[in-house]
Amino acid sequence: MTVGPVTRTRRPPQRKGGGMITLLMLAAPVSLFVLPTALLMVVGLVPTVVAYIVDRDPEKTAPIAVGAINVCGVLPFLMDMWKHQHTVQKAMQLLGDPLTWLVMYASAALGWFFFYFIPPIVTNIELMRLEARITSLQNTRRDLAEEWGSDVALDDEALLSLRAKGDAKSV
């Protein structure tokens, strides 16, 4: 019995937005029980939602960067509300304070700053580290060539051409 080649069927691409829809479906009923918290979070996390909408990257790295720091900006006001009064009136009082808006949205701006400026900095540091490693390896190669002869320092193409010519004693 002869078995033919294995063919693989392609799966249709899966949509990545299912997690957000599930989160919203769970958050809606829960928000009725914790309405003051939900009010403050909905208003405070608007920059994170905007980052999710405008980010075209399939991995959605912008909302991760913006959202993590944006939550850090909203959290002190949530904790204040949880600690003293967990009422809609307290949530409205916090939302009426310009300092609350400044802290929440400035933290989101800091998240955007990190999103745009940290990756190039890390890339440049890694590039400098790799260039230093290349220089170190080239120095080691030169030292080996001085100690063992120039054939040690040949690259793969030069070795293959020597082998093709039949110069077996060098290879």
pLDDT tens-place string over residues 126-162? 999 999 999 999 899 888 888 887 777 677 677 677 7
**Residue written as tokens 């939550």?**
71
Determine the pLDDT at residue 165: 79
pLDDT tens-place string over residues 13-51? 555 556 667 877 777 777 777 889 989 999 999 999 999
Between CA 15 and CA 74 the distance in angstroms is 30
pLDDT tens-place string over residues 61-108? 899 999 999 999 999 999 999 999 989 999 999 999 999 999 999 999
CB-based contacts of 87: which residues, under 8 Å, 6+ apart?
Answer: 36
pTM of the model: 0.64
- 3-state class of 41 per DSSP? helix
Of 35, 49, 47, which Cα lies nearest the Cα of 81?
35
- What is the CB neighbour count within 10 angstroms for residue 2? 3
Q: Is the dihedral of CA 81, 84, 86, 87 positive or negative?
A: negative
**Mean pLDDT over residues 107-131, rounded?**
96
